Amino acid sequence: MNLLINDIPHTLPPGAKLADALVLVDAKPPFAVAVNRQFVPRSSYGSHLLQDDDRIEVIRPVTGG
């Protein structure tokens, strides 16, 4: 299935979970994730089933002053 992760096209097999997508992009904490603009809690990464054409945003905190 085709996905956009941070606006970059990726492909994962059918039945992939959000955790699989995060491994694919080597996401390192801390971060938050939204799928199709909906926040997904960390406790759901392993069970959140992805669909073809999902848009995933991995959001890292910004620090500074």
Can you give the pLDDT at residue 26? 97
Per CATH, the number for 2-59 is 3.10.20.30
42: phi then psi, degrees, rounded to nearest 5? -55, -35
Can you give the pLDDT at residue 16? 98
What are the CA-CA distances from residue 24 to residues 21, 38, 45 (Å)? 5, 20, 13
Residue 12, both tokens: 């994962």
Low-confidence stretches of the chain (pLDDT beneath 70): 65
* Residue 33, number of CB atoms within 10 A of its CB: 22
Among residues 28, 27, 24, 31, the alpha carbon closest in space to that of 1 is found at 24
For the stretch 32-44, pLDDT in tens is 999 999 999 999 9
